[in-house]
């Protein structure tokens, strides 16, 4: 499940995972747990997360691959917020290949940027109203950084080939005789 911060990846990934009866693997949740447990990797991640930047690829890749190796993923899993960089996507391809796992689908949420900022404000207010601790990175300043990071490092994860296939599919729908399939 890919998409900009505040798009609702976590909410939707949870719902989809529940429907499919498989776990949702959120790297954001895993990292927040690591921070809360004050583990060495958690303490390293905290500063980066508070600034709205990305935790180093090797840290995230090992966190997520360790999680994939738990037995509850045998029937599948929904990755939420991972991969977020091209090297992470490449590492994921390799790790899945060595385990003989095939990626079934890539879902990308697209949300208007003004709506994203409203959501982030809403999320912080809702957490405060429910007496929950607000996320330290859910504030307008850090959100700007998170959005910039998404544009620069995460948006390119969608490979050129995938985009080409989508464009061809969209064209084929509107003018079926003009697009030749590449197979």
Give Dmax over CA atoms of the chain in angstroms. 59
Which residues are CB-contacts of 38 (< 8 A; sequence separation ≥ 6)?
none
- Residue from 28, 77, 78, 92 that binds ligand AMP (CB under 6 A)? 28
Size of the site for ligand AMP (CB under 6 A): 17
Q: Contact between 138 and ligand AMP (CB under 6 A)?
A: no
112: left (phi > 0), else alpha (psi -120 to 50), else beta? beta
Q: Contact between 49 and ligand AMP (CB under 6 A)?
A: yes
- Residue from 22, 48, 86, 127 that binds ligand AMP (CB under 6 A)? 48
Taking CB under 6 A as the binding criterion, the range among 15-23, 54-62, 113-121, 172-180 that sits at the site for ligand AMP is 54-62
CA distance 164 to 155: 15
Q: Contact between 60 and ligand AMP (CB under 6 A)?
A: yes
Q: Contact between 31 and ligand AMP (CB under 6 A)?
A: yes
Count of other CB atoms within 10 angstroms of residue 139 = 14
- Residue from 34, 42, 46, 82 that binds ligand AMP (CB under 6 A)? 82
Is residue 102 within 8 A of residue 96, CB to CB? The reply is yes
CA distance 47 to 59: 14
Q: CB of 37: closest distance to ligand AMP in angstroms? A: 15
CA distance 144 to 120: 11
Q: Contact between 54 and ligand AMP (CB under 6 A)?
A: yes
Could you list the residues that contact ligand AMP (CB under 6 A)? 5, 27-28, 31, 48-49, 52-55, 60, 81-82, 84, 88, 137, 146
């Amino acid at each position: 499940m890919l998409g900009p911060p505040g798009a609702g990846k976590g909410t939707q990934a949870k719902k989809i995972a529940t429907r499919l009866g498989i776990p949702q693997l959120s790297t954001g949740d895993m990292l927040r747990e690591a921070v809360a447990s004050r583990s060495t990797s958690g303490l390293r991640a905290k500063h980066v997360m508070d600034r709205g930047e990305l935790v180093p690829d090797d840290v995230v890749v090992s966190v997520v691959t360790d999680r994939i190796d738990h037995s509850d993923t045998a029937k599948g899993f929904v990755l939420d917020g991972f991969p977020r960089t091209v090297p992470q996507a490449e590492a994921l391809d390799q790790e899945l290949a060595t385990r003989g796992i095939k990626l079934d689908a890539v879902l990308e949420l697209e949300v208007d940027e003004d709506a994203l900022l409203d959501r982030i404000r809403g999320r912080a207010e809702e957490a405060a109203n429910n007496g929950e601790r607000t996320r330290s990175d859910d504030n307008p300043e850090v959100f700007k950084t998170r959005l910039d990071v998404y544009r620069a490092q995460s948006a390119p994860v969608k490979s050129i080939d995938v985009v080409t296939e989508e464009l061809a599919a969209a064209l084929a729908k509107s003018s079926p005789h003009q697009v030749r399939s590449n197979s």
